[in-house]
Chain A
Amino acid sequence: MESTFAFLNPEPVFQGSPHGGADDGYLRGLRVALQPSISVRDWPAEAGSVALSGFTALEDATVVQRLRQAGAYLRGYTRMSEFGFGLGGGEAGAALAEGADIELVLDLMGESRAAAARWKVSAFKPSYSLVSRLGIVGLIPSMECCGLVAPDLGTIRKTLQTVAGPDDLDFSLLDEETPDLSARTIDPAATTVGLIREAADGLSTERQEAFHTSARYLESRGFTLKELSLPDFALFSLVHRIIGSVEASSATGRYDSVRYGPRAPGARNWNEMYLRSRDAAFGTFLKSFLLQGAFFQFNRYEAFEAACRIRAQLVTEMANLCLRAEYLLLPTPQDTPPGPTVGAPADRPASLSATYAQFDSTLFANVTGQPALYLPPTADGTRPGFQLSGAALSDGALLSLGEHLLSDANGEEW
């Protein structure tokens, strides 16, 4: 049977070798699966794209360096969607069933959280500017982040503590001290969780019901629920679509098949070579996204500017909501069935609109840069699934809330 891994670490499984990981590190022996958008020196960091086929990373990404130093064992590269955009064609999360303890999944619009929903595991998207992006082959620089997908939050927290923090090589990171990422006690009686009313607008009846079930569960656990309003919630999707596509269009400008990637034959000059090679390198779905970005860039710049203004407003409005409630409850990602069986054709969404619909409840965190946590429901239905968020850099507290909810799943009736 074909593995979900596209590339396996040629170093033997962890035996305390210096290449595999330190003997006494914080993550000693932890088996980490990576998407090939995360550079590991000498590994084929092709980011799921033909444009990068044959490209070998020259350096470790900062997150990889830190994982190695902490003694983690890099298991291999998984199969990923083209540049990690959406889940189509990839197998995000599947590595957990093949001997990985945690998987790093690039989160551009909620991919790590949606993958976790598929595989009934947890996922955490850290705050923007908390985890270095050096060595990440990205697509939407201002929104993307290494998501952490694992069956348990302890592994997620330890991994986050390892990879987070200032990096002299990534100027978009915080200059200040890393915020406290340690576990803390949650007192439900003193904790308010906000529920954004408009986040449920337009959802299927089933998802709306699930959302309210999650809210009732929190109440049953003693939390105070506060209904909040963000009339512009629907704009998150629009803003992501415009700014994300424009950034993606210029971020992929470097894939010209000059230094790596296949060159299309038959071109009479460099311009034709660019056009033909780029035409052959990108898939239809990604191309539609890139062309949309080029359209806003070249033909509707004012729409892009408006999107940037709205984004700044949304960031402020969400930050204000986080002043009224320590945590936010949001609908969980669309519960698509577990990924295709290994090797089966990709279940690629038909269109950009379908993809955006799939991530409608998760992409807010990529637009604002705040952290987001997905918790799966229990198989027996005693506890529903959640998507929770909090203010930017409240990552340590948000994980503690998750741990609190998981620790006492057999609590009272609700």
Chain B
Amino acid sequence: MDYEAVVGLEIHVELNCATKMFCDCPNRPGDEPNINVCPTCLWLPGALPRLSEQALEKAALLCLALGAELQPLCAFDQKVYYYPDLPKGYQLSQAHLPLSRGGAIDITGEDGAPRRLRIHHIHMEEDVAKLVHEMEGRTPIGLVDFNRAGTPLVEIVTEPDFRTPHEAMEFLKALRTQIRYGGASECSMENGTMRADANISIRPRGTTQMNTKVEVKNMNSVRHVGDAIAYEIERQTASVESGEPVVLHTRLWDPDKKVTSPMRAKFEGPCVPDPSVPVIRLSGEWIAEMRARLPEMPTVRAERLATEYGLAPDEALTVSADPQVADFFEALAAQEIEPRTALHWLTTQLLPAVKDTRQELSVCRVTPARLGALLKMMAAGKINANAAREVLTRMFHTDDTPEAIVAAQGFTQVSDPDALGAMVQQVLDEQPAAVADYRGGQVKALGFLVGRVMQASGGKANPKVIRELLTDRLSAAE
């Protein structure tokens, strides 16, 4: 029988707030263990939660960035379970009255047709403490780090609209981009600021029933989500075909073995309204104020970048995927750098270098103004591309202007034919074989000769002038 998958996603996103959700402790889970704690996030007797205004704002921006509808009334509930990561015996979450309902993300399906993937609701919740399992000699011990307890999260719950791994991956990529635009989170699956769980079931193609689902966790990249769903569809299909029923449970994805393995029976604890966090009423004015804070969203921006700067649609989408990159690009273009040059240098030189040096584009030393100055020198023929790359590398380690670096390092391009003539002649004399190849019709040999002259000039020669000198002399002396 032919089966199709029915998949829904539950995505946790950590909001980039300054403080935790219900107290003033810094929201820095990665600090030295248990230093960002207080009576509230340790839930000592007498402590009361105080919902952070910033957490509410960031969560609302996230909802609006995903086209979701903020609810006029939302409230926190207690998700009750007993575990060492939860000192008060319940997690504050929104089970009955979530922050928003609805919303959708449009993607392109594998067949090229547009697909709309709907969001059921988005709710706020606090994160729990982190458990670390270690050995003390031969005794296994569990350590608890409360820095993460109470950090602000939202959970995005989708409709079961996904049929293929591709759709889930495209959805997550678009979701990430839109949330970053809203400024609510960095959404890094690698760093754990975005976590996606998938609920997967299968049914005979063409039917509409909803069968028992299996929840898969522990995928820490978009690729893993796709792989895990693909694996689970195969596993469930084989299981059903061999007559074994699918039972409701949770499985963990093993990225090395590329398989899922059972973890525990899925726990569905009761949720009761929390009496200590007041009900939240969002006024129309407040929602309008949040909406006004949202920047131009990525798909809209991509269209504008394409028409305004003549980028190809896929280039425009790539640039607009990250608001920092798009801002950088537009700042370069505003300095009258040719858009294609700007795009090329941004995507092939700057971004890889930023990644290599483990910096953030928005805070690295290479600002749009500095890169613009460098590219202008190149456009004016003052330096060549090789030198420009060298200067760029140095710009990460100094605040000197590109002009100063060029002057100090002697990168100024040599374009004087008289100065280059001697070098050209010397290379022609030293490379009779290449000369013969070129004259025998092997045009590629010219590139080799240009390279030798560049080398002789210490990389400073203007390759265009060398090329002209070489072709002149090779044809003249025949």
Contact = CB atoms under 8 A, between A and B. Distances in A.
Contacts of A133: 48
Interface stretch (A184-192, A281-289, A297-305, A373-381): A297-305
Interface in B41-63: 42-51
Interface residues of A, number: 39
Interface stretch (A67-75, A164-172, A226-234): A164-172
Interface in B62-95: 78, 80, 82, 84, 87-90
A136 interface: yes
B272 A47 contact: no
Interface in A68-93: none
B313 interface: no
Given A247-B275, A250-B78, A170 B48 contact: yes
Contact of B45 (A52, A142, A270): A52
A45 interface: yes
Nearest to B49: A171
Main secondary structure of the interface of B (DSSP, over half): loop
A39 B272 contact: no
Contact of A59 (B39, B270, B272): B39
Contacts of B270: 297-298, 301
A304 B80 CA distance: 15
B242 interface: no
B142 interface: yes
Contact of A258 (B47, B87, B276): B87
A259 interface: yes
Interface residues of B, number: 27
Given A58-B39, A141-B276, A298-B270, A169 B90 contact: no
Of listed A45, A133, A297, residue having the most chain B CB within 10 A: A297
Nearest to B23: A169
A75 B60 CA distance: 48
Contacts of B39: 58-59
Interface string A248-274: 001011101011000000000011001
Given A171-B278, A259-B87, A137 B273 contact: no
A191 to B, nearest CB: 34
B277 interface: yes
Interface in A304-353: 304, 308
Contacts of B90: 250, 253
A134 interface: yes
Interface in B255-293: 270, 272-273, 275-278
A274 B244 CA distance: 37
Given A253-B89, A254-B89, A274-B82, A137 B45 contact: yes
A135 interface: yes
Contacts of A45: 45-46
Nearest to B87: A254
B51 A171 contact: yes
A57 B142 contact: no
Interface string B86-106: 011110000000000000000
Given A246-B272, A253-B90, A171 B45 contact: no
Contacts of A246: 272
Contacts of A271: 82
A169 B45 contact: no
A259 B84 CA distance: 11
A97 B43 CA distance: 36
B33 to A, nearest CB: 15
A264 to B, nearest CB: 15
Contacts of A215: none
A55 interface: yes
Interface string A141-174: 1100000000000000000000000000111100
A134 B275 CA distance: 14
A253 B273 contact: no
Interface string A290-301: 000000011001
Contact of A172 (B45, B80, B88, B276): B276
Given A172-B276, A270-B84, A254 B46 contact: no
Interface centre among B49, B82, B272 (most CB of A within 10 A): B272
Contacts of B49: 171
B80 A141 contact: no
Contacts of B82: 253, 256, 271, 274
B89 A136 contact: no
Contact of A169 (B48, B87, B142, B275): B48
Contact of B50 (A52, A55, A169, A301): A169
Contacts of B273: 308
25 contacts: A45-B45, A45-B46, A47-B45, A57-B46, A58-B39, A59-B46, A61-B46, A133-B48, A135-B46, A138-B46, A141-B275, A169-B48, A171-B49, A247-B272, A250-B89, A250-B272, A253-B82, A253-B89, A254-B43, A254-B45, A254-B88, A254-B89, A258-B87, A259-B87, A274-B82
Interface of A: 39, 45, 47, 52, 55, 57-59, 61, 133-138, 140-142, 169-172, 246-247, 250, 252-254, 256, 258-259, 270-271, 274, 297-298, 301, 304, 308
Given A254-B45, A256-B87, 11 more contacts: A39-B45, A57-B46, A137-B45, A172-B276, A247-B275, A250-B89, A252-B89, A256-B89, A270-B84, A270-B142, A297-B80
